[in-house]
Amino acid sequence: LAKTTQPISMDSYEGQEVNITCSHNNIATNDYITWYQQFPSQGPRFIIQGYKTKVTNEVASLFIPADRKSSTLSLPRVSLSDTAVYYCLVVGAGANNLFFGTGTRLTVIP
């Protein structure tokens, strides 16, 4: 199970682009990088998943360099409603124990 390291907290102003970086030095060949978002009093919600290079969906982009030892979640033009905890996970196919860690607490400031 590859361990991940991400900042404990970040602040950003509304309308800015936010980049949250996650380190996963021991990622294995078959592992995927997955990000979840959690609002207070709710369960985590899947945001995006990728294996290499760049993945984009309607919510975020995920950038993964060639060595895959880190990844960056990019949230374009954040709003107050993006205030949440963001978790980076490295997951292997067939794995059962998904390690969530403490995540990054993003606070968007008006």
Chain contacts with another protein (rule: CB under 8 A): 32, 34, 36, 41-46, 49, 87, 91-103
Q: Are strands 104-109 and 9-13 parallel, antiparallel or unpaired?
A: parallel
Q: Which is nearer to another protein, 94 or 110 (CB)?
A: 94
CB of 93 to another protein, least distance (A): 4
CB of 24 to another protein, least distance (A): 15
* Contacts for 91 with CB less than 8 Å, ≥ 6 apart: 31, 32, 33, 34, 98
CB of 80 to another protein, least distance (A): 21
Q: Which is nearer to another protein, 23 or 49 (CB)?
A: 49
CB atoms within 10 A of CB 95: 16
